[in-house]
Amino acid sequence: MGELIYCRNPIAANPYFLDEVSLNIYSMEELSYFIYHNPYLLNASFMNMDLCNWIGRELNETELSKQLKELIAQNSPLSIFVGKLLGSNGYLSVAEIKKTMEVVSALENKSETECKKIRADRLMEKNKLIDAIYEYESIIDEPKDLSMELLGNTYHNLGVAYARMFFFDQAVHCFESAYLNNKNRGSLKAMFYAIRCMKDESLFQMMLSKYHVPDEVKEMLKDDVTRVSSCEEISRYQDRINHLRADYSDEDAYYAQLGQEVSNWTKEYGYMSRI
């Protein structure tokens, strides 16, 4: 999970496999950590007898296992089930447990599609872009109980995910589809920004004509991309790369340092595109 978790309770010899994230869990503390940081990934399937049996069998928490099974038998809300789990081991504070239960409860009152979009949005916020893309595409592929506005917003966020991975051609398609559904001019502007990032002038001009964009807006779009591309952070980084040659007069040292920069980019991109 990327963090050291102190476990005061038993560690399971045989882990519980969480389908939501393809992750093995060995303790109640690990389970609490997962729930607290990923409440948007939970759904009704999380509340199951296999989990209850694992808690009783592998962690020797027979009383807790019994109580959880009773909640399932009573068709209790998922938020209550989660609250019982989180309150059983002392890993989270009362405030953290309450906050998590409120998130889970809010999801229970939304449609399946709305919940999937919220989960996808949270995945993107955590830079889990590939997972977010899969989730957005699953919504689009099965657009049940989906309004045109929500479909358009889903396309827009899918476009953002593609753009953050530098897949600007896919992003252009998504932003255009978003605008055709939600009629939000922000999606149309995002489409033009993505085209500018592709440096495809012919496509840019074609889309300007297709959507009857006036000249003053055309110039504004160009200026916006130019301004963002030359922001202080980017300029400062570009200056640092340009000064590498001066800082490292030895050619081997220069290429070694340049290789380190490329390696850092690769690691960052790999983190965003991991599954």
Average pLDDT of the segment spanning 198-207:
92
Average pLDDT of the segment spanning 10-23:
84
pLDDT digits (tens, 9 = 90+) for 85-123: 999 988 899 999 999 999 999 888 788 888 888 889 988
Distance CA 37, CA 250 (A): 47
pLDDT digits (tens, 9 = 90+) for 162-194: 999 999 999 999 999 999 999 999 999 999 999
* pLDDT at residue 1, rounded to an integer: 43
* pLDDT at residue 191, rounded to an integer: 95
Whether 79 and 105 have beta carbons less than 8 Å apart is answered as yes
Distance CA 177, CA 187 (A): 9
pTM score of the predicted model: 0.70
pLDDT digits (tens, 9 = 90+) for 34-83: 999 889 888 888 999 999 999 999 999 999 999 999 999 999 999 999 99
Distance CA 84, CA 87 (A): 5
What confidence category does residue 8 fall into, taking pLDDT thresholds of 50, 70 and 90?
low
* pLDDT at residue 35, rounded to an integer: 94
Reference 42, options 4, 68, 78, 16; nearest CA is 78
25 pairs with which residues across the strands? 16
Share of the chain above pLDDT 90, in %: 52
The domains of the chain, with CATH numbers, are 16-108 (no CATH), 112-229 (1.25.40.10), 232-272 (no CATH)
pLDDT digits (tens, 9 = 90+) for 225-257: 777 666 566 667 677 777 777 777 777 777 777
Whether 88 and 64 have beta carbons less than 8 Å apart is answered as yes
